Amino acid sequence: MTLRTRILVYVVVMHVVFAAIAVAVMREHWLWVVVVDALFLISIIVAYRLTRSFLVPLELIRTGAELIRERDFSTRFRPVGQQEMDALVDVYNRMIDQLRSERLRLREQGELFDKIVAASPGGIVICDLDRCISQVNPSSEALLGDSAEELLGRPLAELKTPVGRALATLGTGASRVVSLADGRRLRCRRAEFRDRGFARSFYLLEELTEELRQSEKSAYEKLIRMMSHEVNNSVAAVGSLIAAAGGYGDELGGDHREDFEQALAISAERLEHLRAFMNGFAEVVRLPEPERRGCDVEALLRDLITLMGPYLEERRIRCRLEIAARPPENSLDKNQMEQVFVNLLKNAAEAIGEDGAVTVRLGGEPRRPWVEIEDTGCGIPAAAREQLFTPFFTTKENGCGLGLTVVREILARHGFRISLESPEGHPTRFRVVMPRS
């Protein structure tokens, strides 16, 4: 029974009781009985109206509270003709209008945020309070190697990709550059925002591959030009001195002359090696833009295997070509791509050392052919894999660290990609993907 019903029942019962008492007391004065009953009737009507005017505000407050609890901000109240109540109705209506406006604004902002996240070229990963993934955009799906359906709800610690491992170990406000198997490099950054008073984490994944490549290229080109200038000047001057010193050989006799000429010959030879060494560096700087022409990739690979045959036979390394799919001609610079594949074949042979096998595979879809070179070496250590395409980094005792830099530069100018799969202790696979425009 509602409060309104209880009050009305109470008023009616009390008036009926008092009316009965009045009838009993004034039984002999019927006129007074009629007057009293009329007064009781008027009192009931007045009490009903007063009760109603008291209960209507309470009813409106209860209804308003129910609407707010159900988050229904579309209902407004009309004035009831009571000054105090109309003031309360006005306050409620203005509050509801403001809540409805705020909710609409937040919804529009949420939709805008979702569209920005979805359209962002960089990866965005948002986590809940338990550091489980609650939202990802298409870019981060590609970088994390799974679809949104597979990623949502998973803890970051369960992600096995290099990017996932980096995100799981990042501290708030920290950033880290991660190298991927295909040579791309990403900057992963962690930040926080407040959600209903609690801190939640989000991660930004920004690709820096081209930016870092251009920065590194500018740095090593400047260094090589400076080194080449200084070394070539010194080599020319020292070469002239050696040639001039050779004229004094006739003034020496016996064993001294032979030792003198041998020392000059060795010095001249070392100078020539130094000149050739610097010219090798300079080739990186002088690398021209590719001159693209139609090229049969299979024929190119067969020619290179024949060319590298004696070099591989000396190391007792077998080389075979496997054709998974024969793509049509591709538009590329044949000379530059020969340099790419020769470098990769030499790397494979050096990784094996002696007595092994190199497998060259050609496959892929017609518009996305790839060439894969696999060796039977012992793999590349994890620490070295991330630095493998960095200029001047090398794992070889006498290497200069520019072979794979040249490979990456040629492929970048062609719009091709290279990826590396090299679990430690297992075969190493370099794959060059050559999409056709």
Query: Count of residues for the chain?
Result: 437
- Specify the DSSP element, H or E, that contains 219: helix 209-245
Give the DSSP per-residue string, 225-255.
HHHHHHHHHHHHHHHHHHHHHGGGGGG--HH
What is the pLDDT at residue 403? 74
Give the residue from 427, 385, 428, 432 showing the smallest Cα distance to 408. Answer: 432
Q: pLDDT (tens digit, 9 = 90+) per residue, 287-338?
A: 778 888 888 888 899 988 888 888 888 889 999 999 887 778 888 999 889 9
Average pLDDT for 197-209: 85
Give the DSSP per-residue string, 330-352.
EEE-HHHHHHHHHHHHHHHHHHH
Average pLDDT for 66-93: 78
What is the pLDDT at residue 371? 92
Within 13 Å of residue 273, how many CA atoms lie on the same side as its CB? 6
Of the listed ranges 30-44, 271-285, 422-436, the one predicted with least confidence: 30-44
**Between 119 and 48, the higher pLDDT residue:** 119
Q: pLDDT (tens digit, 9 = 90+) per residue, 372-417?
A: 999 888 777 766 766 676 666 666 666 566 677 788 888 888 888 8
Report whether 374 contacts 362 (CB < 8 A): no
Give the DSSP per-residue string, 261-296.
HHHHHHHHHHHHHHHHHHHHHHHHHTPPPP--EEE-
* pTM exceeds 0.75: no
Is the predicted pLDDT of residue 40 greater than 70, yes or no? no
The gap from C-alpha 272 to its chain's centroid, in whole angstroms, comes to 48
Of the listed ranges 28-42, 266-280, 352-366, 399-413, the one predicted with least confidence: 28-42
Is the predicted pLDDT of residue 418 greater than 80, yes or no? yes
Report whether 364 contacts 325 (CB < 8 A): yes
Is the predicted pLDDT of residue 275 greater than 70, yes or no? yes
Cβ atoms within 10 A of the Cβ of 229, count? 12
Give the residue from 389, 384, 385, 383 showing the smallest Cα distance to 404. Answer: 389
Average pLDDT for 226-245: 76
Average pLDDT for 187-197: 87
What is the pLDDT at residue 390? 67
State the Cα angle at 347 between 343 and 353, rounded to 5°: 145
Q: pLDDT (tens digit, 9 = 90+) per residue, 204-215?
A: 988 877 677 677
Measure the CA–CA gap between 194 and 199, rounded to whole angstroms.
Answer: 5
Contacts of 54 (CB under 8 A, 6+ apart): none
What is the pLDDT at residue 359? 92
Is the predicted pLDDT of residue 57 greater than 80, yes or no? no
Give the residue from 417, 351, 434, 424 showing the smallest Cα distance to 182. Answer: 417
Buried b (16+ CB within 10 A) or exposed e, 15-34: beeebeebeeebeeeeeebe
Is the predicted pLDDT of residue 113 greater than 70, yes or no? yes
Give the residue from 118, 124, 130, 76 showing the smallest Cα distance to 99. Answer: 76
Query: Is 130 buried (19+), middle (13-18) or exposed (0-12) by CB count in 10 A?
Result: exposed
Of the listed ranges 24-33, 112-121, 144-153, 277-286, the one predicted with least confidence: 24-33
Report whether 187 contacts 123 (CB < 8 A): no
Give the DSSP per-residue string, 110-122.
HHHHHHHHHH-SS
Measure the CA–CA gap between 256 and 254, rounded to whole angstroms.
Answer: 5
The gap from C-alpha 424 to its chain's centroid, in whole angstroms, comes to 26
What class is the 120-207 domain? alpha beta
Question: Phi and psi (nearest 5°) for 378?
Answer: -95, 10
Is the predicted pLDDT of residue 3 greater than 60, yes or no? no
**Domain residue extents for the chain:** 3-103, 120-207, 211-285, 293-433
Across the chain, mean pLDDT equals 78
- CA distance to 53, 62, 79, 82, 416, per residue, from 87 (Å): 15, 16, 8, 8, 72
**Between 414 and 183, the higher pLDDT residue:** 414
Is the predicted pLDDT of residue 28 greater than 70, yes or no? no
- CA distance to 10, 12, 53, 226, per residue, from 2 (Å): 12, 16, 16, 95
Percentage of residues of the chain with pLDDT beyond 90: 5
Give the DSSP per-residue string, 383-416.
HHHTTTTSTT--SSTT--S-HHHHHHHHHHHHT-
Give the residue from 151, 242, 241, 239 showing the smallest Cα distance to 203. Answer: 151
Percentage of residues of the chain with pLDDT beyond 70: 76
Superfamily of domain 293-433: Histidine kinase-like ATPase, C-terminal domain (3.30.565.10)
What is the pLDDT at residue 19? 67
